[in-house]
Amino acid sequence: MIGTIENPVFHFVFEFYGYATYHGLVDLGNPLIKKVISTMIEKEDYFFFAINPDQTVTAFRSQLDIPVLEALKINFERYGKTSESPEYYEKLCCEFKKKPDPPGRVFNWVCRNNPSYLDLTENRLELTPRQ
């Protein structure tokens, strides 16, 4: 987590040793984020797509190991009822992007406050596996 106790932002770090580090900052005040994290805890699993500027896609999937799952549960129970302002979240993201820790690429979450982006009957991105 980053931010303050009153205004926490969940910080996900995806580290691929010898390749790259990616960061995802999510706004706990967003009902969609709360649902996603709740589902991650329930399923003990996660799956993310990173859509790159060149329209290639990288998929991340993993089961949450016990220590990570327990920390996620505890922090979500403790801070999942908070609701920081979107302005605070955006400011924190802008500051973090200037100097991510550990160094790496910071994802932009495309769905933000629009759950219709998750409706794959309308917003489809056709993917072709790399040969």
Residue 12 pLDDT > 80: yes
Q: What's the pLDDT score for residue 96?
A: 93
Q: What's the pLDDT score for residue 131?
A: 60
- Tens digit of each residue's pLDDT (9 = 90 or more) over 48-94: 777 777 777 777 777 777 888 888 888 888 887 776 677 888 888 99
Q: What are the DSSP calls for 39-96, one per residue?
A: HHHHHTEEEEEEE-TTS-EEEEEEEPPHHHHHHHHHHHHHHTT----HHHHHHHHHHH
Residue 95 pLDDT > 90: yes
